[in-house]
Structure 1
Amino acid sequence: MNTNKLRRLSSVALCALICISAAISFSGCENGKTQSATSDEVATTSPVPASTADEATAVGALESLGIDASTLGIEPNILHDTENSVGFQLEMPNEGDTVAVVHTTLGDFTMRFFPEQAPKTVTNFINLAKEGKYNNTTFHRVVRDFIVQGGHCGNDENAPNGTSSYGTEFEDEFCDKLFNVRGAVSMANSAQDTNGSQFFINQTSAEAYKNNGGWAKLESNWENIKTQLLNYKDSNLLSAFIQKNGNNCYDTDIVPNEVRVLYETNGGNPYLDGAYNAVDRGHTVFAQIIDGMDVVDKIAVVKVDDDDKPVENVVIKSIDITTYSPQATQTTSQNTGTTSAE
């Protein structure tokens, strides 16, 4: 009898702790929901060398709290790009670089790739595009002042993020010089290393970023998360808490000032960056819109239902993989009124 009572009390306590963890959510959420995003090899130069210096890493925050990251399976593989500076992704590509022109029912946009920083992800997208797998897919999730998401290929129930060109889910590729700023194109996922075919475009403007609370809100959120991590560090519920709140573990303590300025100037969604996430969560940035951001903004304001799905489908008709020409892009901008990413 006493044993049954003890089991009931344990169950109540467990439920209470789980409810507490579920209550912790990103402070910039809308309507109380955490905003998260779910063949031929591309020719590349040699990969950007990773720094061998002891850079400050977000996972170090766990160690400072007395949490052994490796026992939780948290072993981030982050590329420390020593050849490029913060903000290089907003520069125009070199003539002859590979770009993609995405033709949608609301207009066209063009994006440049980052094959040195995210080689497997770039190859995946280009292969799917060349094979026509993205043709006639839709932007199935649209959240104004957040993201425009689409590109689901295949009908495999075991591939919730779409079927990749490799046939299986593949790993994240985080880089400390690529960010989810406005116009950045990133992979949707549902956990670590679950990339498929779905991608999203960060649409948050600088004004929306500021209205959402900006950096002050992100810092407040991280202080809150650190307190919760301390509370759970000696509990068997720590893994469950991290699984629930992984996207919120954005370590603002180690983010360089130039990254803060980049977001304040351009907008975007910093907490989606994997390079500064304490528990190895985030979204791989692999491309940047260089022309046609006004088309993305047009998609972002279409009428949607309660699940953020457009009432009338916005379709990717086709994607052309081609080479960049400054003259061609300039002509396109003049003829269509499109603009480069801010």
Structure 2
Amino acid sequence: MIKSLSCMMMGACLMFSMTACSLGQSIEVLDQDKIVLLQTEDMVSGEDIAVVETSEGVFKMRFFPSEAPKTVENFIELAESGYFDGQMISRIEKIDQEDRTKGRIVAGSGKPVAEEGKCIFEEKLEPEISYNLATIPGAVVSYAPDGVVDSRFFIVGSRKVYQEELDEIRENNYPKQMVDLFEKEGGYPEEWLHQSVFAQVVEGMDVIDRIIRENPSTPEEEITDIEIVSVNIEKYQESVQEQSEEGMELQTSADNQEAKPVLSYQSSGN
């Protein structure tokens, strides 16, 4: 059942009178035209990515510091200090016991999920909710059962969103962009604006889904035997091929505008 959004249409805007679950943050006014689906936007050279090596394979994720600045800062600083290295994934959660591919991975402390993780801030860090980020497959979300963010996080596994769910979120006035996103990508639309998304898996989603598929649900008081070997923060760089293709497009555009100079780009490694 989709969590109902109590709202009414006001011109181009939606008025949300709901409170984001138990997180204590309320979204008052949302202009649909201002929604930016950040998880679908192209990456740019120089943005931070995390390369996560596990005993089951490697995946990479990008961050959204504009939407969740403190959560991102907490994760990156802990990663750079080596905090995550050598930890065991806390839990595999099966959302649907009949479909072994549907679920999530909970990690970030190396301890059972109920036990607190680590935070670099002295004050309590509240979940940072953004209407530009959704709980689609690969979303990296703060695990904050008590409404306080620390190092714990979960990664959403792949899941198809069925037509009846899409119909229900349309009836509950979800923005069209979000309905279309969930229809295309899948995920858990009932959690939109109820969870604090701060990153997105951009490579290695097959690793995430395989871990969920091939491992049983973990009891809350236990942890898995799947190791996070290392988490390294790197700068994303466009591949030479991508830059070459971009350069060719610029060259073609310049050829069509005789008086304009040609722009050329070189790989940062040159």
Q: Settle same-fold status: TM greater than 0.5.
A: yes
Alpha carbons of structure 1 residues 264 and 54: separation in structure 2 relative to 1, 3 Å:
closer
Tell me if the contact between 2:136 and 2:188 (Cα under 8 Å) persists in the aligned partners: yes
The offset of 1:96, in angstroms, is 1.1
Q: Greater shift after overlay, 125-134 or 308-317?
A: 308-317
Give the gaps of 5 or more residues in structure 1.
1-25, 29-52, 63-68, 220-251, 275-281, 331-342
Matched, 1:195 2:152: no
CA–CA separation in structure 2 for the residues paired with 1:186 and 1:136: 21
Could you tell me which residue of structure 2 aligns to residue 298 of structure 1?
210
The offset of 1:138, in angstroms, is 2.1
Could you tell me which residue of structure 1 aligns to residue 39 of structure 2?
89
Q: Work out the number of aligned pairs and report it.
A: 227
More strand by share: 2
Alpha carbons of structure 1 residues 121 and 80: separation in structure 2 relative to 1, 3 Å:
farther
Matched ranges for 1:173-252 at <5 A: 173-192=128-147, 194-206=148-160, 209-210=161-162, 213-216=164-167
Tell me if the contact between 2:106 and 2:153 (Cα under 8 Å) persists in the aligned partners: yes
Identity of paired residues, percent? 27
Could you tell me which residue of structure 2 aligns to residue 238 of structure 1?
none
Could you tell me which residue of structure 2 aligns to residue 164 of structure 1?
119
Tell me if the contact between 1:129 and 1:320 (Cα under 8 Å) persists in the aligned partners: yes
Alpha carbons of structure 1 residues 118 and 94: separation in structure 2 relative to 1, 3 Å:
same
CA–CA separation in structure 1 for the residues paired with 2:200 and 2:55: 20
Give the gaps of 5 or more residues in structure 2.
4-10, 95-100, 243-270
AA aligned to 1:185 is V
CA–CA separation in structure 2 for the residues paired with 1:204 and 1:255: 21
Matched ranges for 1:128-147 at <5 A: 128-142=78-92, 143=94, 144-147=101-104
Alpha carbons of structure 1 residues 132 and 84: separation in structure 2 relative to 1, 3 Å:
farther
TM normalised by structure 1 equals 0.57
Could you tell me which residue of structure 2 aligns to residue 8 of structure 1?
none
Could you tell me which residue of structure 1 aligns to residue 188 of structure 2?
269
The offset of 1:268, in angstroms, is 0.9
CA–CA separation in structure 2 for the residues paired with 1:93 and 1:200: 22
CA–CA separation in structure 1 for the residues paired with 2:52 and 2:118: 19
Matched, 1:56 2:14: yes
Could you tell me which residue of structure 2 aligns to residue 110 of structure 1?
60
CA–CA separation in structure 2 for the residues paired with 1:112 and 1:165: 20
The offset of 1:215, in angstroms, is 2.5
TM normalised by structure 2 equals 0.71
AA aligned to 2:176 is N
Alpha carbons of structure 1 residues 327 and 74: separation in structure 2 relative to 1, 3 Å:
closer
SS in 2 for 1:122: helix
Could you tell me which residue of structure 2 aligns to residue 152 of structure 1?
109
